[in-house]
A and B are shown apart, each in its own frame.
Chain A
Amino acid sequence: MKIFVTVGTTRFNTLIRRIISEGFFENHECILQTGPGGMMTKKFECFEYTSEIDRYYDWADIVVSHAGAGSIYRLLSLGKRIVLVPNVDRIDQHQLDIATFMHNNNYAIAVYDFNVLSRAIENAAAADFISFESLEFFVAEEIITFIDQ
């Protein structure tokens, strides 16, 4: 399996450390995006940041992602199989909200306990996810009209 791990713009070394140390990941092809100042390893291809993240999304069978909305909505629009790991290294815990929503509605699998991460990845590979639909932002005109009054 090709697994791409992405943590976005805030480092999430607890997750990266787990992936480096767990044997499961050595049996798969993994690429890690570890964030600014994030942990590095010689075990897997890894980098702090890329401006061409879609290339890695395309490459991957499964994307293990922090629960940042920008990453999630992009991945959903590409129809990827997603395992969400809320970044609990941050002091604000807002990633739990979107992760829970995505999990409860069967758009993705959310993981709150690293001990079940590898099982969640296996489940995501076989899951019947629902495709995410949303209305595109439609109030641009009224915002400018309101300000210009």
Chain B
Amino acid sequence: MRPRAVLFIYGEGGHRAQMKRLYARLAPRMEEKGLVAVGICENGDELDGFVNYSQRGMRDKHSHLKSYILLPVRLIHSFLILVQLVVSYRIEGVISTGPGIAIVPSIALKLLGARIVFIESWSRFETTSMTGRVMYRVADRFYIQNRSLQSHYPDAIYGGLL
């Protein structure tokens, strides 16, 4: 039987830093419930403690042009990772701290019955991220770390700062 798993999706830098803090808080509770962790990280910048599939970021940080050219390749890679994950695990939930690499797997796994949790970046106070705006519609639970975001995301839950 496939192990019951929670999929963690996180990018590099600050996204990874937030996920590291989040995972440290979730890991003991997951163990109690018999849930294993599996991750999708960005550009090989992975966290220790569970199996990670790495993919390139959806957008190039320095060039719009490169982002558009490479997007189809990134999407195909994302899909292939997803197939591997679904074959090996029963994904009960998806938790992400962004960025855009979270969108495709979250939508796909939601359709397969997983619960989707998104935590908007701790760097947001008065503006929203593109990934945040998409995930606000996709996620079953959407958390914010700064109260000032409540006016932008009325249904979001304030959860404190990671």
Contacts and interface: CB of A to CB of B under 8 A. Distances in A.
Interface of A: 8-10, 67-70, 73, 89-92, 94-98, 100-101, 134-141, 143-144, 146-149
Given A69-B122, A94-B123, A100-B126, A10 B159 contact: no
Contacts of B162: 137
B2 interface: no
B137 interface: no
Closest 10 CB pairs of A and B: A147-B93, A69-B123, A139-B159, A140-B25, A101-B125, A135-B160, A144-B29, A70-B17, A137-B160, A134-B161
B35 A144 contact: yes
Contacts of A67: 123
Given A10-B13, A146-B141, 16 more contacts: A90-B62, A92-B59, A95-B123, A96-B127, A97-B126, A97-B127, A137-B21, A139-B160, A140-B26, A140-B29, A143-B26, A144-B35, A146-B115, A147-B92, A147-B93, A148-B92
Contacts of A92: 59, 61
Contact of A138 (B14, B30, B117, B160): B160
A91 B59 contact: yes
A139 B123 contact: no
Interface of B: 6, 12-14, 17-18, 21-22, 25-26, 29-30, 33, 35, 59-64, 92-93, 95, 115, 117, 121-127, 129, 140-141, 143, 145-146, 148, 157, 159-162
Contact of B127 (A94, A134, A141, A144): A94
Contact of B148 (A90, A101, A149): A101
B112 to A, nearest CB: 14
A147 B115 CA distance: 6
